[in-house]
Amino acid sequence: MYDNSANKFCSLDRKDFVKFLGILIDCNLKWKHHIDFISLKISKTIGILARLRHFVPTETLLVIYRSLIPPYLSYGICVWGRAANSYIGKLLVLQTRALRLIYFAPSDAHAIPLFIQSKILPVNMIYFDAVVNLMHDIWKKLAPSPIKALFTRSNEIHGYNTRHAAKGNYLRKEVKSEIFKRSFSRTGAISWNQISPDWRDFSKPIFKKTIRRFLFESLSDRDDYVKSTP
């Protein structure tokens, strides 16, 4: 880059990542650095829970969890929430470790009942919840114009009354790049198309409650669990 004030060229150092609005963005958009960063923050909270659990009731521990951990998991998750499973799995392991500590459960205890009992969503469902709520804003034309411009309804492309268009679905972009396959402009449409068309015109408060109820019902139907180590 040319520096006019010094009348010379200056070199730019290449960095593995940059911090923008609290999110660590790496050059390959793999989100490893950001997930490592929030994993460290969550691990510190888990240490607090481990020290306090013998002295305070469960409800207090849950208040601490909800105050300190979800903000890291939810902030900007529409952007980084489709990172590789190996990275997202790291956060899920930390969540389950925290819940097992809170409930004095063994390290190999079934994790799903703990999520349901505490009314806490695992990180992959936090992602889905955030995405469809943002898509609801797009559907209602309440989102900023640059975000709305990322999506096109099927019935805006052609006049044929196909099943896809009649449901009010968004077009799913077909791409080859792995980065774009995980981008919000694609996963947002996929997530939105999965929910019931009957829910889409709900008011925001009712929509949010409906989605959370749907997610916890889906969680209760699962039969897997998360081990204490990746």
pLDDT in tens, 68-83: 999 999 999 999 998 8
pLDDT-derived band at 228, boundaries 50, 70, 90: very low
pLDDT in tens, 42-96: 999 999 999 999 999 999 999 999 999 999 999 999 999 988 898 999 999 999 9
Q: What is the pLDDT of residue 2?
A: 47
**Residue 185 confidence (pLDDT) above 80:** yes
pLDDT in tens, 130-152: 999 999 999 999 988 988 888 88
Q: What is the pLDDT of residue 171?
A: 82
Tokens encoding 118: 């505490």
Sequence-ordered alpha helix ranges (H) in the chain: 32-52, 58-68, 70-74, 77-80, 85-102, 112-118, 123-139, 145-148, 163-166, 178-181, 184-194, 204-220
**Contact by Cβ (8 Å): 49, 55:** no
Residue 227: how many other CB atoms lie within 10 Å? 12
d(CA 116, CA 96): 12
| Residue at token pair 């981008």 | 183
pLDDT in tens, 13-29: 667 778 878 888 887 78
